């Protein structure tokens, strides 16, 4: 069974279309420790370690923990608490690939580091690493962060660098490409919104075609950053 963590503010149309992909939805609750724009973003509140284990921030609700357990997941708690003040809000916001871990390691939660210490660590200056990176494959990423781009290129990744902006994030000026999407499978990337309504959508589609990944759109709106769609199977 495929599951997906989503922001509790997912729109009914997005939810309906996501369920039509045979995906069970787990809504991440509001975190009162965060500012409103990101207080339900999955990539801020948790990090999937494998298909059985998920690291969640230590103040997450008991009801959510029960939902995780009922799904068959083993929840593990962060060492630190989330906070509105940077960098306390980015402690879990890392790109966690099969063999590679990408984050501003200085601020990664100690518990998360414990579980990924066997992987290749790539340190970047951007703390909102997962927000900033749309993962296309284990070696292909889309970002608008030039420093992430340069670091990943030097580590053998294929990276599409986009100009910033033109992505909706209610409460802020604009959002990030990583927060608009998530891999349902190795060949399917699901988006909040439609690339035809994104200024650089054709560049993204060309890059996805290059890597034989199909985009799936949950609505026909412009791209929206609701925090990454985090899929797993259980």
Work out the percent of the chain whose per-residue pLDDT is above 90.
Answer: 99
pLDDT confidence bin for 18, thresholds 50/70/90: very high
Q: 175-191, pLDDT tens digit by residue?
A: 999 999 999 999 999 99
Q: What is the DSSP string of 138-180?
A: TTEEEES-HHHHHHHHHTT-EEEE--S---B-TTSS---GGGG
Eight-state DSSP code of residue 61? -
Q: Measure the CA–CA gap between 60 and 200, rounded to whole angstroms.
A: 36
Q: What mean pLDDT is predicted for residues 210-229?
A: 98
Give the pTM.
0.97
Q: What is the CATH number of the domain that holds 205?
A: 3.75.10.10
Checking if the pLDDT of 51 tops 90, the result is: no
Chain CA centroid to CA 193, Å: 15
Q: 61-96, pLDDT tens digit by residue?
A: 999 999 999 999 999 999 999 999 999 999 999 999
Residue 226: which domain range? 2-233
Q: Are the C-beta atoms of residues 146 and 189 closer than 8 Å to each other?
A: no
Total domain count, the chain: 1
Q: Are the C-beta atoms of residues 132 and 178 closer than 8 Å to each other?
A: yes
pLDDT confidence bin for 14, thresholds 50/70/90: very high
Nearest to residue 36, comparing CAs of 68, 93, 84, 102? 84
Q: 99-154, pLDDT tens digit by residue?
A: 999 999 999 999 999 999 999 999 999 999 999 999 999 999 999 999 999 999 99
Nearest to residue 110, comparing CAs of 64, 58, 73? 58
pLDDT at 234: 84
């Amino acid at each position: 069974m495929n599951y997906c963590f989503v922001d509790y503010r997912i729109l009914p149309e997005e939810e309906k279309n996501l369920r039509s992909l045979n995906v069970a939805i787990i809504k991440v609750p509001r975190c009162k420790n965060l500012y409103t724009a990101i207080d339900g973003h999955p990539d801020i509140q948790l990090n999937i370690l494998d298909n059985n284990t998920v690291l969640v921030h230590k103040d997450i609700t008991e009801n959510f923990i029960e939902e995780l357990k009922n799904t068959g997941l083993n929840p593990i708690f962060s060492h630190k608490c989330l906070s509105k003040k940077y960098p306390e809000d980015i402690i879990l916001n890392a790109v966690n690939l099969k063999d590679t871990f990408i984050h501003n390691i200085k601020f990664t939660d100690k518990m998360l580091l414990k579980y990924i210490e066997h992987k290749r660590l790539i340190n970047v200056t951007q703390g909102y690493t997962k927000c900033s990176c749309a993962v296309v494959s284990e070696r292909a990423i889309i970002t608008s962060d030039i420093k992430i781009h340069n670091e990943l290129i030097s580590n053998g990744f294929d990276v599409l660098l986009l100009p910033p902006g033109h992505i909706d994030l209610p409460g802020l000026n604009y959002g990030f490409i990583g927060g608009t999407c998530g891999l349902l499978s190795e060949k399917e990337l699901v988006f909040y919104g439609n690339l035809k309504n994104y200024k650089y959508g054709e560049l993204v589609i060309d890059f996805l075609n290059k890597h034989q990944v199909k985009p799936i759109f949950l609505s026909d709106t412009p791209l929206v950053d609701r925090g990454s769609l985090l899929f797993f199977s259980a």
